[in-house]
Amino acid sequence: MRNDSTVYVGLDVHKESITVAYAVDGGEVESLGRIGTTKTGIDRLCERLRSKARHVRVVYEAGPCGYGLYRQLVQKGFDCMVCAPSLIPRKPGERVKTDRRDAIKLVRALRADDLSAVYVPGTEDEAFRDLARAWASARDDLRQARQRLKSFLLAHGVRYIGSANWGPAHRRWLSEYSFGNEWQQLAFDEHRRTIEDRLAQCDRLEVALREAVFNWRFYPAVLGLQAMRGVQFVTAVGMLSELGDLSRFEHPRQLMAWLGVTPSEHSSGGKRRLGGITKTGNSYARKLLIEAAWSYRHPARVSRDIQCRHEGIPKALIDRAWDAQIRLCWRYRKLAARGKHVNIAAVAVARELAGFIWDIGRLAMSLAVPHREQAA
């Protein structure tokens, strides 16, 4: 083992096994076979890798197994990367796929510096993200349960006279309505009970999330983003829990590309062709971003709800949020006047909104630093 040598390691990770391949510097890629995912198996692998070279670089694809392996390898002192599976180079004519081939391919791509790393959150940030995702899943389950009940009533010709917005009057009518058939009434009661259960679950998770956000390190950014129009607590928490540290994006265009709201391009020679947005990256964060962008189709103004969210916020953030509202409302009107479809205009606004989120989020964190130091 030379002191200046480097071993490149590719791991094809599964639930019960890990297939390992390696290469020392520019040598041939060799296979180490398959190991288990237990701590003992990983410790033995680390000892074998240390015996081959002083510097060890490891890579594996992001997947359902999470970042536990990454943290174990980093704790051992290895240079580890979790790469994006969709950005791994692939040969068009390749028709054979095995775990051994995948591990060897990772080694060659890592040695050629041809892989794109994904962001690995800290343990606390990941825990907060899990809580935020649980709340989002509960809201989706609630929406689906309500839709199932509406479909059930529509199939039986039952219609509510008024606005079926799940307000007190609508819910009171649902609790008092009854079917003549016993089996239909049982099915109807189960649909209503599912909705009540989902409502209780959403309330529990929201209370827990609002309590946890006070101790989260990005809480100043959560408050700062809520100064903007269309960005309420749900959007601010959902966006930041998925984005993580905004300082990892050196330029707002990087955030736009990560959210998948930049136009695709297929240019050749003197022709430049732009297509629809790439839709890469985090789909949930992109959904929240576009939903927030729809609020800018109305004229710029500061509503009472936004005024309440401005309480206790530094004036620099409020001014920046107002600048964003003026700019984005004008942008939507300009695109609509040019005859652009409303969806295209909303996505264009969402792309610029991502830039303001990057700016305001970073500004909020910088303004909160002196307060934390003073409190310490």
Q: Identify the CATH number of the domain in which residue 44 sits.
A: 3.30.420.10
| DSSP β-bridge partners for residue 23 | 8
Which of 214, 243, 267 lies at the terminal end of a domain, its last residue?
214
- Give which of 222, 248, 214, 226 is closest to 320, Cα–Cα: 226
Which of 88, 111, 134 lies at the terminal end of a domain, its last residue?
111
Q: Are residues 20 and 151 in the same domain?
A: no
Tens-level pLDDT at each residue, the chain (376 residues): 555 789 999 999 999 999 999 999 888 999 999 999 999 999 999 999 999 888 999 999 999 999 999 999 999 999 999 999 989 988 888 889 999 999 999 999 999 999 999 999 999 999 999 999 999 999 999 999 999 999 999 999 999 988 888 999 999 999 999 999 999 999 999 999 999 999 999 999 999 999 999 999 999 999 999 999 999 999 999 999 999 999 999 999 999 999 999 999 888 888 888 889 999 889 999 999 999 999 999 999 999 999 999 998 999 999 999 999 999 999 999 999 999 999 999 999 999 999 999 999 999 999 874 443 333 3
Handedness of CA 208, 209, 212, 214 (dihedral sign): negative
- pTM, entire model: 0.89
What angle do helix axes 39-50 and 68-75 make, rounded to 10 degrees?
40
Q: Are residues 181 and 206 in the same domain?
A: yes
Handedness of CA 335, 338, 342, 343 (dihedral sign): negative
Q: Are residues 77 and 200 in the same domain?
A: no
Q: Which two tokens stand for residue 290?
A: 């576009």
Q: In terms of residue numbers, what domain contains 158?
A: 123-214
Number of domains observed in the structure of the chain: 3
Q: Are residues 236 and 338 in the same domain?
A: yes
Q: Are residues 103 and 138 in the same domain?
A: no
Q: Are residues 226 and 366 in the same domain?
A: yes
Which of 214, 244, 266 lies at the terminal end of a domain, its last residue?
214
**CA within 13 Å, CB half, 108:** 13
